[in-house]
Amino acid sequence: MAIAVAVFSSLFICSYFPLGDALSLNYYDKTCPSVESIITNTVKEAFAEDKTVPAAVLRMHFHDCFIRGCDASVLLDKDGNSKVEKSGPPNLSLHAFFVIDNAKKAVEAACPGVVSCADILALAARDAVVLTGGPTWYVPKGRKDGRTSFASETRQLPAPTFNFSQLQQSFSQRGLNLGDLVALSGGHSLGFSHCSSFQSRLHNFDTTHDIDPSINPSFAASLQRVCPAHTKVKNAGSNMDPSPIMFDNTYYKLILQGKSLFSSDQALLTSPSTKNLVTQFAGSKKAFYEAFAKSMIKMSSITGGQEVRKNCRIVN
């Protein structure tokens, strides 16, 4: 079926997107009508205390959906000796799980045993974008929570070092196209990255270049000061862009200037079609917001769970 997707920013945009039968916009209308306002209030409270929360929640949702679908498997804690997704190297820097815990506690008080952790995370990710000035969209609901989580599967996550063909394959395996790749990469508008995610571009890049030649030289020099070779400073790194708590289209402008942090960001200029989208989004926040909202609905509709957890950290 097709639903109207309203995207709000400074402008109102209306578009259409085909939605799978498993999810619906009115899934909780009778069983938990206050679910969205409860989650929004929880995210707002967390953001007031910690400005890094929106970036963390959005990244958490991405990392959840790319492994076994959007089933909240990323939220599960270690059970005995088995290592879960949280323990996988790409997820060691995930944080703000308390936001989902708090939202789940508040939702359970209002509607016990009804709302999945996967839906809470999808709604919280939308709220995180809105709170930082980005678009809003109607989130389809009805996801179930998964019972399986393996650290080894986090190798499937797209890495900041990926080239264009690796990115294309990673997204296509999940039913996402090149337009989705460019739009969803705009999530890098928010947050902070540790040196380890981009250090390979700054030192001994290849046999002929010490520094990745696609990086703006002055930008590379500033990054080298923050991330010298073999740095042991645990929290050294850089903001993803100059406005790390504001969701906007600056990310795309930086790519065109050779000032993006990751190889995977700069790789978006490799293909004419993705380069055209980067240029379009750099020139139009409206175009980016509309594309981002549509691609978020598409990505968050990759489902795979089986139950509604009572506690987001453990299976029932």
Per the annotation, where are the binding residues for heme b?
188
Q: Packing angle between helix 53-65 and helix 97-110, nearest 10 degrees?
A: 80
Q: Alpha-carbon distance 123 to 311, whole Å?
A: 17
Residue pair 150/156 in contact by the 8 Å Cβ criterion: no
Of residues 225, 253, 230, the one with CA closest to residue 240: 253
CA separation for the pair 70, 300 (Å, rounded): 6
The catalytic site residues sit at 63
**Contact present, 116 and 124 (Cβ < 8 Å):** no
DSSP 139: P
